[in-house]
Structure 1
């Protein structure tokens, strides 16, 4: 964490030039150190994270993710078995154990409570990541996966997703477009899993599967090969681990983005094979 040092140095320079900058940087350093220690002392998310400099961002992402997931699950009126399983699986994939897992569970329960300040929590999260759209879109993808865990998006869930999306700075059109892509990915993934489970090798691509593949990439069948390839490359670049690492995401969270990247790759391969693209 370095922002305390930067701001302190700038403020000091404005008043006392070079000596003031030095004093301000020292004061800022003490502030940064204290903030990092606060998260380290928490034991849970703080111990799970990868160093003091990333502690605040990592803990913020994980807390907000599980709290909003709890709120989204409760929006239907009751938390279902699928909601619990989806949340537990995510904790497993993130390798949350001990205190870190307890804090994630506490965040989920907090999000379920009546009066949970959804918009404020989400806006604070957006500000913590300086409105970085790649990080915020990945956050939305995680919530959409939660909402679609049973293959059905209820009106109350859609309303929560729209509220969260708008609080993050996205438009309703963008949110609905991503939902369409996520729904297609859910169906596509289900078919792929079914083929593997049944030990089948699919020699032909059904019309429904091909349509889902186009929707995963956010393109239409009548678009050119060049346009489809451009959309594919843009989506893959957005989910590239090196790029996401530079945005301040927790390392384990980036693995979730790789799951999405695999669906994008499978959809592109389906389209490419069908069209004979090189």
Structure 2
């Protein structure tokens, strides 16, 4: 934004000529900086005020997700049938139309190329959402879930995820925390499916299930009930439909995030029952 500097310089010039113009421009600079930071926290509102169309943001999110997905898949040396099937499954889950599906497929292929400019793509992606950390974290969650499609994370895949996380302003520690939570969610989800199939829909509560439920919430058995409630509410707030809509995310991606919210809810219910949380 430059209007603060322009207005400040003009006002300063009117009162104190050139010295006033310089002083006014400096004051305006700090005003612009503060406004830009405020807009960056407002997600879609900031993008609207900057004149970016939502459709462009949607397309950028989808392109970047599938391109980086292809890059992660290729990192281990060979893209497997499971990787391709996972990409196709995600396209179906997102209910992409024919044109969008083709663009996603093209993005996946681009990501596999050795010359794929990962750092620049991530820099552009972050800029398109004005560095909104909620959106960037949701992107990382989606990407981690895709990388763990078989429950295993190859060392080279992990290195790419580290590069992506750092490019978006996150630390390796944060990434490893999210990986732990997603691995737990993968095991928890599979166990719930087996329990439904083997006991007519009744849930089995084992020690391993409970440990995974804690990890999904980002807590441990040592945390107090109040701390667990706080962690649960924070996770649910981040994945709430209204919150996601305000961030300017594609509707298709919002639906995927809501599935994550259901997993968080199921994990909390198991922990709550075990600890008799009211």
Give TM-score scaled by structure 2 length.
0.81
RMSD of aligned alpha carbons: 1.8
Larger RCO: 1 or 2 (CA < 8 Å, sep 6+):
2
1:11 and 1:225 mapped to 2: Cα distance? 50
Larger mean CA deviation between 181-190 and 74-83 belongs to 74-83
Aligned length: 238
How far off its partner does 1:146 sit?
Answer: 1.2
1:233 and 1:185 mapped to 2: Cα distance? 17
Give TM-score scaled by structure 1 length.
0.81
For residues 124-165 of structure 1, give each alpha carbon's deviation from its aligned partner in whole angstroms, at most 9, with x where no partner exists.
101111111111111111111111111111100100100000
How far off its partner does 1:11 sit?
Answer: 8.4
Matched with 1:253 is: 253
How far off its partner does 1:70 sit?
Answer: 0.5
Residue 62 in structure 1 maps to residue 62 in structure 2:
yes
1:97 and 1:68 mapped to 2: Cα distance? 21
- Cα 1:62–1:274, aligned 2, differ >3 Å: closer, same or farther? same
For residues 1-29 of structure 1, give each alpha carbon's deviation from its aligned partner in whole angstroms, at most 9, with x where no partner exists.
xxxxxx69778867999xxxxxxxxxxxx
1:68 and 1:274 mapped to 2: Cα distance? 39
Matched with 1:174 is: 174
Matched with 2:99 is: 99
- Cα 1:204–1:62, aligned 2, differ >3 Å: closer, same or farther? closer
Are the equivalent residues in 1 in contact too, given 2:119–2:167 (CA < 8 A)? yes
2:53 partner SS? helix
Structure 2 residue runs without a partner (length 5+): 12-51
- Cα 1:203–1:149, aligned 2, differ >3 Å: closer, same or farther? closer
- Cα 1:204–1:250, aligned 2, differ >3 Å: closer, same or farther? closer
Matched with 1:31 is: none
Are the equivalent residues in 1 in contact too, given 2:122–2:167 (CA < 8 A)? yes
2:140 partner SS? helix
